[in-house]
Structure 1
Amino acid sequence: MNGSVLIAAGGTGGHISPGVALAEVLSEKTKHFGFESVYIHSLLRNQNNPDLINPPCQVLWHNIPQLGGFKTLIYPFLFIFPFLKTIIQFRKLKIEAVIGMGGYSSLPAILYAILFRKSLYLCEQNCVPGKITRIFSKFAKKIAFSFPIVEEFKIPGKIIGNPIRKRVIPEHLNIRQNENLHEGKKNTINVLVLGGSQGARQLNQMILKAMENSDISSKYKFRLLTGTNLYDETKKKASDETEIISYANDMKPNYEWANLVVARSGAGVIAECLVFGLPMILIPYPFAADNHQKANANYLEKEGAAVSIHSTSDDPTSLVKYLLTWKDHSEVLREMGHVSLALSNVNAAYQTISYFFTDPR
């Protein structure tokens, strides 16, 4: 296949990070997969996204408006002009294949592929397929899934794993950070708390309340990545023993430090925790589209790599119960870590690209 390949990765970090991971593979092996160039197509508001500041290939910026609210009736008029610009740009760059990572921002690239009969491929990160995947699956040549999708959706594709950026992949694929937990009851258990780039007040408050239990505070050491918006608020309420970080551009040292992760259940965070063999306490964001975070958490819990807390409050009761149970039975965390690592796929990015462009199935 001649021409160029384009990765439509625009909306949130959950779409951008795996898109960049695919771009890393294609940038190194462009000719191998039969292309001249590779591009990323992303929203203008993502210019400060850490994954796009030093991208592996050229980023084409666009400003397609989001559908919804009072704009619904006039959306076609708002959409048409930037879409025409997209068509002119893509034709000039000889875009012959489009990989859609999901979200409304991938719509212009997907429509271009359909209207001009270019090859379309889709990546679905979550157990509940997003609207883009559901609507355009019949136009795609192939679809790659990060996790098994829930049974009610009959969409053909291949389960490969969520593509992971090179800078996040661990140096050694083992779970050494948990292997020493069974050696004695005096070991400190390091807990990494992730609320996402914008933070999660619920998670921060739940952890701080749990630390009021003396048995927990004596056994567990917490590191909270609060998000920049919630850093000051959380710092004022936290004890001196709690490590508070607003944001980490390099997550690898944090994953290597941790024995346990408390987080939302977005596909990106889950995939990164899996490759580090980390057990998880997942607290799904209850207002995520189609409640997909709940489905992600349920899948990990069913497999035995995580437990989930389905709550909209900061009541720490369930969290405290888990932590007290594991306080003197850290072998449970070790076994969860083994399951976590077994579910991971550190080569998902390369395998996804290979599936799209070399696997004949």
Structure 2
Amino acid sequence: MKEIVLIAAGGTGGHISPGVALAEVLLEKKDFFQIETVFLHSLIRNKDNPDLLSPPCPVLWHSMPKYSGVSFLIFPFQFLVSFISTCLELKKRKVSVVIGMGGYSSLPAILYTILFRKTLYLCEQNCIPGKITRIFQNFAKKIALSFPVESYTFQNQNWKIIGNPLRKKVIPNQMNLRQNENLHDNKRNLLNVLVLGGSQGARQLNHMILKAMENVEVSQKFRFRLLTGNSLYDETKSKSKGEAEIISYADDMKPNYEWANIVVARSGAGVVAECLVFGLPMVLIPYPYAADNHQKENAEYMEKEGAAKVIHSTSEDPSPLVRYLLEWKENPSSLRDMGHEALRLSNINAAFQTLSYFFHSHG
């Protein structure tokens, strides 16, 4: 019997993007995986998320309330309404399998699988499993991990490290180190630095880069492209005194990754996974207020494996970044080595392999 699959990808972009990547592959390989229909399940306030503007399959929207900003007395009733609504919707659609991508907003769909004895699979993007993964691991038939989990041992033994599923539009056309095999292929002999602030805490990164550019040696040897996020574009543009290319948002990230020699970013699992498949050395500045401090663990794992350098800082002091950049400029072979390590850790087939593990593997 063919399965009707719901992918619960509702929280932030870090949960939505890999969920969409899984939906793309399921739709392409419906017969292979014995799938009849695929749905995405997401919060209605995510309707403007870029990955959900033109989704690969129908999206079932729900309105689970936020923990914050809701009265402690009102929240249980609002949650109950959302949960009952989700159950009715999924029963009507005859959903037989739920893939939870993490985040509290996947809770109604996960509880549906428990209440109605449906199949649950979990995907965990980070080096520290989120609360949903930890709480519901024993209800899951299998768990797919993006990275090794060092600080937590699963009681559920059916897990496998596969990699973070990537959307088709971000996967490079060919796996190589074009960016760093020839580090002197432009007339001014400059290295290209791509700066990705992410949705949280981008201001610190933007200001750190602008201050780094005030260093004469850095400004002469590097080109910068800042993706600021829409809300910080005007502020960053007004403070910029150098030649940085400042962009508010890019729907198509592939040309930016192809342009870059180095990436400076937060250490969310999605951005890190995308940098890996392009063989890009990274300077990672973890967002210190991320849940369970998972960005710190992600960054430190990348550094331990030789694909990144980590700056643990909440200040805008550019000194550590300047030091790394100038060291790499003087020693380009170390940059190439980091690129090789990044490629070693990458998996462009993570989406397909995750689904194969869920639906075909008996391990």
Q: Same fold (TM over 0.5)?
A: yes
Moved more, 326-335 or 274-283: 326-335
Moved more, 305-314 or 62-71: 62-71
Residue in 2 aligned with 1:46? Answer: 46
Given that residues 137 and 154 in structure 2 are in contact (C-alpha distance below 8 angstroms), is that contact kept between their aligned partners in structure 1? no
Residue in 2 aligned with 1:293? Answer: 295
Residue in 2 aligned with 1:114? Answer: 114
Residue 75 of structure 1 and its aligned partner are, at CA, apart by 2.2
Residue in 1 aligned with 2:103? Answer: 103
Given that residues 261 and 279 in structure 1 are in contact (C-alpha distance below 8 angstroms), is that contact kept between their aligned partners in structure 2? yes
Moved more, 128-137 or 29-38: 29-38
Residue 74 of structure 1 and its aligned partner are, at CA, apart by 3.2
Given candidates 348, 351, 356, the residue that maps to 2:350 is: 348
TM-score by length of 2: 0.96
Residue 197 of structure 1 and its aligned partner are, at CA, apart by 3.7
Structure 2: distance between partners of 1:283 and 1:73? 38
Residue in 2 aligned with 1:265? Answer: 267
Structure 2: distance between partners of 1:319 and 1:126? 24
Structure 1: distance between partners of 2:90 and 2:324? 52
Structure 2: distance between partners of 1:242 and 1:10? 34
Moved more, 238-247 or 210-219: 238-247
The answer for unaligned runs of 5 or more in structure 1 is none
Given that residues 259 and 279 in structure 1 are in contact (C-alpha distance below 8 angstroms), is that contact kept between their aligned partners in structure 2? yes
Structure 2: distance between partners of 1:286 and 1:197? 14
Residue in 2 aligned with 1:205? Answer: 207
Given that residues 7 and 23 in structure 2 are in contact (C-alpha distance below 8 angstroms), is that contact kept between their aligned partners in structure 1? yes
Q: Deviations over 1:80-131 (max 9, x none)?
A: 1121111111111110000000001100000000110000000000000000
Residue 185 of structure 1 and its aligned partner are, at CA, apart by 12
Residue in 2 aligned with 1:141? Answer: 141
Give SS of 2:96's match. Answer: strand
Residue 199 of structure 1 and its aligned partner are, at CA, apart by 6.2
Given that residues 277 and 342 in structure 2 are in contact (C-alpha distance below 8 angstroms), is that contact kept between their aligned partners in structure 1? yes
Give SS of 1:216's match. Answer: helix
Given that residues 199 and 228 in structure 1 are in contact (C-alpha distance below 8 angstroms), is that contact kept between their aligned partners in structure 2? no
Give SS of 2:344's match. Answer: helix
Structure 2: distance between partners of 1:128 and 1:182? 39
Give SS of 2:303's match. Answer: helix
Structure 2: distance between partners of 1:278 and 1:63? 38
Residue in 2 aligned with 1:16? Answer: 16
Residue in 1 aligned with 2:224? Answer: 222
Residue in 1 aligned with 2:34? Answer: 34
Residue 151 of structure 1 and its aligned partner are, at CA, apart by 3.1
Question: For the aligned residues, what is the CA RMSD?
Answer: 1.6
300 and 231 in structure 1: CA distance in 2 versus 1, 3 angstrom threshold: same
Residue 183 of structure 1 and its aligned partner are, at CA, apart by 8.3
Structure 2: distance between partners of 1:9 and 1:222? 33
TM-score by length of 1: 0.97
- Matched pairs, number: 361
**Aligned residues with identical type, % of pairs:** 69
Residue in 1 aligned with 2:304? Answer: 302
Residue in 1 aligned with 2:244? Answer: 242
Moved more, 88-97 or 275-284: 88-97
Residue 175 of structure 1 and its aligned partner are, at CA, apart by 1.1
Structure 1: distance between partners of 2:58 and 2:41? 9
Given that residues 273 and 346 in structure 2 are in contact (C-alpha distance below 8 angstroms), is that contact kept between their aligned partners in structure 1? yes
Structure 2: distance between partners of 1:183 and 1:6? 47
Structure 2: distance between partners of 1:240 and 1:281? 21
Residue in 2 aligned with 1:81? Answer: 81
Given that residues 144 and 158 in structure 1 are in contact (C-alpha distance below 8 angstroms), is that contact kept between their aligned partners in structure 2? yes
Given that residues 20 and 55 in structure 1 are in contact (C-alpha distance below 8 angstroms), is that contact kept between their aligned partners in structure 2? yes
AA aligned to 1:213 is: N
Residue 337 of structure 1 and its aligned partner are, at CA, apart by 0.3
Residue 3 of structure 1 and its aligned partner are, at CA, apart by 3.9
Show the 5 A alignment for 1:315-334: 315-334=317-336
Residue in 1 aligned with 2:151? Answer: 151
Structure 2: distance between partners of 1:188 and 1:216? 10
Structure 1 runs of 4+ with >6 Å offset:
182-186
Residue in 2 aligned with 1:165? Answer: 167
Residue 35 of structure 1 and its aligned partner are, at CA, apart by 2.1
Residue 154 of structure 1 and its aligned partner are, at CA, apart by 3.0
Structure 2: distance between partners of 1:72 and 1:278? 45
The answer for unaligned runs of 5 or more in structure 2 is none
Structure 1: distance between partners of 2:339 and 2:314? 27
Q: Deviations over 1:46-81 (max 9, x none)?
A: 111110111110000000112246533432211111
Given candidates 347, 356, 359, the residue that maps to 1:357 is: 359
Given that residues 2 and 96 in structure 1 are in contact (C-alpha distance below 8 angstroms), is that contact kept between their aligned partners in structure 2? no
